[in-house]
């Protein structure tokens, strides 16, 4: 059994996280060379990827595929592509030829986001000037459709946008919505085995949430509720499918209890999401193939949930008792996943300081704290499910790889996102010609700077794990300060940082 893997793009967090997780559990993965996958706004070679997929796939493979990649050429191209719906439909129809009697296709797709800021780093160029107004108008569309805004008020909101921008925005959303509807139809026709439909950065009352509700109603109409999941997320969604694919392959559904560090705040909706924590967490687990239970059986999901809507760079520590509760749970030495979502875009420093201790059994722990709550929850849930399958003997565990995976997550999510990034982006980079969206003028210097500043964090991790990670050198996947990746050996360094 092999996994055929088509990532959403070439980033470390979307491609290499998946490969690292598969390596940790000795799962064979075949994936296109990174040169095919494009670069941020530059779309992948879609024809080459389809040719690779058609040539490589065998009858008994498990296929884990990003729809955004095979239709648009990546996540960002799915937002800015000008390909016609007829062109996209033809690409989508080719999935019928890929589907074989004994293979399974697990597909991930995103409901296109509508960010509420005036930056075009990942959006069409006009987002630099009209992003906030587009977002505000899109929410008024929902209010109008729900009967709480008059046609006259909607018309006034529409007048704040140039006609050509509005036309382009609405055309692209309608195209993507209809393509997702066609994909759900393919699911009902058994050309796809499971669809993970995720809501990229969204918010309560957003057009993304409204569209997802319409998709959910269509799913019910077609009777395929048990073969699709609709929830917040994006970059982590293929990790989720890796866990589900393995669960279904071995036919064992791990039983997992959820522990919230701040249960009084489970109704809070995290930043960049439209769903309360208490609703989204069980869905992530179930999408991975797990069963949520009230008592500990196979493993424990520890959710360090937020008590407000802060970013990690403006974090305020919770009450000391919150951290003590997590420490007490970890001393039981169960197989545990730690979803550190107290803050968006990075770790809770106090939590990491509390748990990075050799007295805890890190061979049974998986930790993450990156970007949106959905990104972190999906990453930890999938890793936890696979760790349980290994404990049960269904798959095998490479313990050194598990420690390396945790080291990478801690270095990026704790060391970089919660601490080093802000200083690099806001203080040091502007002195040398960089800004919020690029390190290109100073990338050589920035890489050395980040490595130096991460060293104390790395030493703390190494002391806890009893392992040395001198070969983990940082790089910038999209040549910007938002995220980093790690060159894991000299061969990767010689190839520009990637396999």
Answer yes or no: is pLDDT of 496 > 50: no
Spacing of C-alpha 152 from chain mean position: 39
Residue 195 lies in a domain: yes
Question: What pLDDT is recorded for position 295?
Answer: 87
φ and ψ of 331, to 5 deg: -65, -15
Element (H, E) at 379: helix 373-391
End-of-domain residue from the set 367, 397, 427: 397
φ and ψ of 178, to 5 deg: -65, -35
Structural domain boundaries, residue 115: 3-249
Same domain, 88 and 156: yes
The runs of H, that is alpha helices, within 146-204 are: 151-158, 163-188
Beta strands in 399-458 (DSSP E): none
Same domain, 233 and 273: no
Task: Considering only CA atoms, give the Rg of the chain.
Answer: 22
pLDDT digits (tens, 9 = 90+) for 344-395: 999 999 999 999 999 999 999 999 999 999 999 999 999 999 999 999 999 9
Mean pLDDT to the nearest integer, 155-169: 96
Same domain, 233 and 374: no
- Contact at 8 Å (CB) between 236 and 375? yes
Q: How many domains does the chain have?
A: 3
Mean pLDDT to the nearest integer, 442-463: 97
End-of-domain residue from the set 334, 367, 397: 397
Question: What pLDDT is recorded for position 296?
Answer: 74
d(C-alpha 197, C-alpha 241), whole Å: 11
The runs of H, that is alpha helices, within 234-319 are: 237-250, 277-287
φ and ψ of 190, to 5 deg: 70, 20
Answer yes or no: is pLDDT of 489 > 90: no
Residue 416 lies in a domain: yes
CA distances for 338 relative to 84, 258, 291, 345, angstroms: 43, 10, 17, 15
Mean pLDDT to the nearest integer, 112-141: 96
Same domain, 242 and 272: no
Residue 103 lies in a domain: yes
Alpha-carbon torsion 256, 261, 263, 267, what sign?
negative
Same domain, 258 and 221: no
Same domain, 173 and 49: yes
End-of-domain residue from the set 365, 397, 429: 397
Same domain, 304 and 243: no
pLDDT digits (tens, 9 = 90+) for 289-309: 999 999 878 999 999 999 999
- Contact at 8 Å (CB) between 379 and 369? no
Answer yes or no: is pLDDT of 499 > 70: no
Decide: helix, strand or coil at residue 207: helix
Residue 402 lies in a domain: no
Residue length, the chain?
A: 499
- Contact at 8 Å (CB) between 289 and 385? yes
Answer yes or no: is pLDDT of 263 > 80: yes
- Contact at 8 Å (CB) between 106 and 241? yes
For residue 287, which of 232, 341, 223, 235 has the smallest C-alpha distance? Answer: 232
Same domain, 474 and 335: no
- Contact at 8 Å (CB) between 308 and 318? no
CA distances for 415 relative to 250, 437, 461, angstroms: 36, 20, 10
Same domain, 376 and 283: yes
Q: How confident is the model at residue 437 (pLDDT cuts 50, 70, 90)?
A: confident
Residue 499 lies in a domain: no
Answer yes or no: is pLDDT of 166 > 80: yes
> Which residues are bridge partners to 292 per DSSP?
256
Residue 293 belongs to domain with CATH number: 3.40.50
Same domain, 385 and 448: no
d(C-alpha 346, C-alpha 128), whole Å: 26
- Bridge-based pairing state of the strands 485-487 and 473-475: antiparallel
Residue 209 lies in a domain: yes
- Residue reference for tokens 């095979």: 70
Q: What mean pLDDT value characterizes the chain? A: 95
Same domain, 48 and 107: yes
Residue 100 lies in a domain: yes
Residue 422 lies in a domain: yes
Question: What pLDDT is recorded for position 115?
Answer: 95
Q: Which residues contact 252 (CB under 8 A, 6 or more apart)?
A: 389, 392, 394
Alpha-carbon torsion 290, 341, 215, 127, what sign?
negative
DSSP 51-95: HHHHHH--TTPEEEEEHHHHHHSSHHHHHH----HHHHHHHHHTH
Rounded to 10°, the helix 373-391/277-287 angle is 40
3-state SS track over 123-143: CCCCHHHHHHHHHHHHHHHHH
Same domain, 213 and 289: no
Mean pLDDT to the nearest integer, 107-118: 96
């Amino acid at each position: 059994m092999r996994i055929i893997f088509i990532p959403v793009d070439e980033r470390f967090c979307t491609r290499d996280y998946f490969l690292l997780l598969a390596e940790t559990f000795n799962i064979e993965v075949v994936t296109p060379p990174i040169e095919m996958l494009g670069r941020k706004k530059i779309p992948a070679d879609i024809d080459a990827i389809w040719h690779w997929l058609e040539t490589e796939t065998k009858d008994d493979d498990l296929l884990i595929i990003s729809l955004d990649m095979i239709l648009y050429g990546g996540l960002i191209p799915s937002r800015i592509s000008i390909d016609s719906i007829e062109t996209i439909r033809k690409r989508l129809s080719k999935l019928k030829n890929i589907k074989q009697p004994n293979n399974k296709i697990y597909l991930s797709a995103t409901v296109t986001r509508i960010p509420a800021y005036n930056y075009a780093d990942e959006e069409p160029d006009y987002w630099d000037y009209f992003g906030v107004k587009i977002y505000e108008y899109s929410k008024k569309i929902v209010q109008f459709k729900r009967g709480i805004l008059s046609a006259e008020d909607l018309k006034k909101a529409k007048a704040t946008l140039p006609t050509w921008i509005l036309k382009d925005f609405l055309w692209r959303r309608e195209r993507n919505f209809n393509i997702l509807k066609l994909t759900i139809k393919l699911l009902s026709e058994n050309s796809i085995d499971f669809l993970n439909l995720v809501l990229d950065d969204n918010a309560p009352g957003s057009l993304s949430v409204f569209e997802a509700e319409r998709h959910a109603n269509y799913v019910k109409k077609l009777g395929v509720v048990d073969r699709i999941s609709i929830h917040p997320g994006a970059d982590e969604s293929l990790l989720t499918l890796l866990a589900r694919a393995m669960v279904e392959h071995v036919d064992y559904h791990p039983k997992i209890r959820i522990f919230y560090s701040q249960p009084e705040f489970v109704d809070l909706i995290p930043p960049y999401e439209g769903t309360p924590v208490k609703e989204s967490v069980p869905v992530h687990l179930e999408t991975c193939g797990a069963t949520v239970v009230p008592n500990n059986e196979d493993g424990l999901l520890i959710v360090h949930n937020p008590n407000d809507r802060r970013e990690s760079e403006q974090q305020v520590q919770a009450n000391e008792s919150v951290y003590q509760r997590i420490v007490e749970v970890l001393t039981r030495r169960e197989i545990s996943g730690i979803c550190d979502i107290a803050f968006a875009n990075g770790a809770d420093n106090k939590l990491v300081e509390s748990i990075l201790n050799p007295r805890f059994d890190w061979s049974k722990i998986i930790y993450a704290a990156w970007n949106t709550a959905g990104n972190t929850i999906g990453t930890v849930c999938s890793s936890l499910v696979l760790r349980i399958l290994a404990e049960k003997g269904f798959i095998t565990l490479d313990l050194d790889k598990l420690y390396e995976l945790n080291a990478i997550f801690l270095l990026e999510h704790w060391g970089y996102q919660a601490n080093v990034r802000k200083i690099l982006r806001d203080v040091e980079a502007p002195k040398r010609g960089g800004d919020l969206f690029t390190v290109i003028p100073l990338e050589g210097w920035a890489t050395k700077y980040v490595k130096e500043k991460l060293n104390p964090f790395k030493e703390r991790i190494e002391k806890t794990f009893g392992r040395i990670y001198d070969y983990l050198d940082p790089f910038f996947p999209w040549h910007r300060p938002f995220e980093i990746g790690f060159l894991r050996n000299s061969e990767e360094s010689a190839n520009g940082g990637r396999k």
